[in-house]
Amino acid sequence: MNIFRLAGDMTHLMSVIVLLLKIHTIKSCAGISLKTQELYALVFATRYLDIFTDFISLYNTIMKLIFLASSFSIVWYMRQHKIVRRSYDKDQDTFRHLFLILPCLLLALFINEKFTFKEVMWTFSLFLEAVAILPQLVLLQRTRNIDNLTGQYVFLLGAYRALYILNWIYRYFTEPHYVHWITWISGLVQTLLYADFFYYYFNSWKNNVKLQLPA
């Protein structure tokens, strides 16, 4: 494993920890999109179908379990926890799941490396992960005022994606036959979706002011 990949996984892990910390200690999920969190739970559930059939490494299995458990518990907190769920911006978080799920599923049925259930689900999870942040970005745009933890959560997710691109470039030059167009293109699309957010995040950081997105 190269340094970019490890750093990518660690920022991904940190994003989840920041979010759980916000929910668990402040008992608030204000500014967090339940739609995005549900899509992530679906992403992990469909991508890690191999968790009990193909052993890759202990690291791999443990990380998969962490991402599955954390994504489903975040959804549980936001839907079921009697205090946390009250802070959910339900009226602002109106993005429709199906608008993202259906096109990704159709695309995965036609574009995949092998037409098997596991492989189509894996490809679907890549496409869906690429766009799963959209409801969150829409919610940020609507609420405009973003608290520090929410800003850090989205920033860490974006950093994870950027580091994965560096990981692919590194692997392409160091490993033979490492060509994965589906992964790369969907990963690139996903990272580009954060570009706008990053621009405002760095500006607010540089000018040392509270992060605020334009209307």
Partner 1 sequence: SASTGVKDEL
Binding-residue total with partner 1 (CB under 8 A): 25
How many C-beta neighbours within 10 Å does residue 31 have? 24
Q: Which stretch binds partner 1 (CB under 8 A): 55-63, 143-151, 188-196, 203-211?
A: 55-63
Q: How far is CA 202 from CA 17, 39, 155, 187, in A?
A: 22, 27, 10, 22
Do 40 and 132 meet the contact criterion of CB atoms below 8 Å apart? yes
Comparing CB distances to partner 1, the nearer of 167 and 190 is: 167
**Which one-letter amino acid corresponds to residue 121?**
M
The angle that helices 195-206 and 148-174 make with each other, rounded to 10 degrees, is: 120
Comparing CB distances to partner 1, the nearer of 95 and 124 is: 124
Query: Which string of x and - marks every residue 119-138 that binds partner 1 (by CB under 8 A)?
Result: x--x----------------
Check binding of 60 to partner 1 (CB under 8 A). Answer: yes
Q: How far is the CB of 51 from partner 1 (least distance, A)?
A: 11
What is the C-alpha separation between 167 and 157, in angstroms, rounded? 15
What is the C-alpha separation between 124 and 37, in angstroms, rounded? 16
Check binding of 64 to partner 1 (CB under 8 A). Answer: yes
Query: 83, 109, 113, 148: which one contacts partner 1 (CB under 8 A)?
Result: 113
Comparing CB distances to partner 1, the nearer of 89 and 119 is: 119
Task: Look at the block and give the residue holding tokens 């092998």.
Answer: 114
Task: Look at the block and give the residue holding tokens 């259930």.
Answer: 117
Query: 57, 174, 207, 208: which one contacts partner 1 (CB under 8 A)?
Result: 57
Do 63 and 90 meet the contact criterion of CB atoms below 8 Å apart? no
Comparing CB distances to partner 1, the nearer of 54 and 196 is: 54
Q: Using CB under 8 A as the criterion, which residues of the chain lie in contact with partner 1 when the complex forms?
A: 5, 9, 12, 50, 54, 56-57, 60, 63-64, 67, 112-114, 119, 122, 164, 167, 171, 175, 177-178, 180, 182-183
